[in-house]
Structure 1
Amino acid sequence: MPEHVSVLQQIGVVMLAVATVAWVAGLIRLVRVVALPPPRSVPRSLPLGSLPGQAQAPALESVPLTPDEQDAFAVLIRQFGRP
């Protein structure tokens, strides 16, 4: 054991090595899970989580605009059209 290296430095190197090995193992596991195709028991047409479809479409909402608001909206649309 080198005389100029303290015990805390040696423990730090060991901890970094253990953390690196754990990180690499976790990364390999993650890559394997992501790279594998989904199991065949799950239908391909259903999204993950398989949320049920809506029974009916939500009602459309509208708010009547005053003439001043309509003019302001027209000005805003013209501003968006400028290059």
Structure 2
Amino acid sequence: MSLQLTPESQQQAIASIERYFREHMDEPIGNVAAGGLLKFFLQEIAPVAYNQGVADAQERLQQRVAEIDIEVHHAPFTYWPQPARSRRS
């Protein structure tokens, strides 16, 4: 599965890769090469981050579902108040 970016996000990602190479590598990278590198990352590495995000979301949702009983629980049979002591003597 290859993740897809919007055209705007893809342009920004390519520009970011080009800037990274200018500032941190000995040689700059061109637009076409940066686009190829981005495509590789999206196809090869991005699914790892995506799957981790899904797993994190599942864990969080499971925690919330487990807590829902605490948040919305209502005690049954509360119409009749509990007597402090028996009325019969």
Greater relative contact order (CA < 8 Å, ≥ 6 in sequence): 2
| TM bucket, shorter chain | 0.3 to 0.5
TM-score, length-scaled by structure 1: 0.36
- Asked which structure has the greater CA Rg, the reply is 1
TM-score, length-scaled by structure 2: 0.34
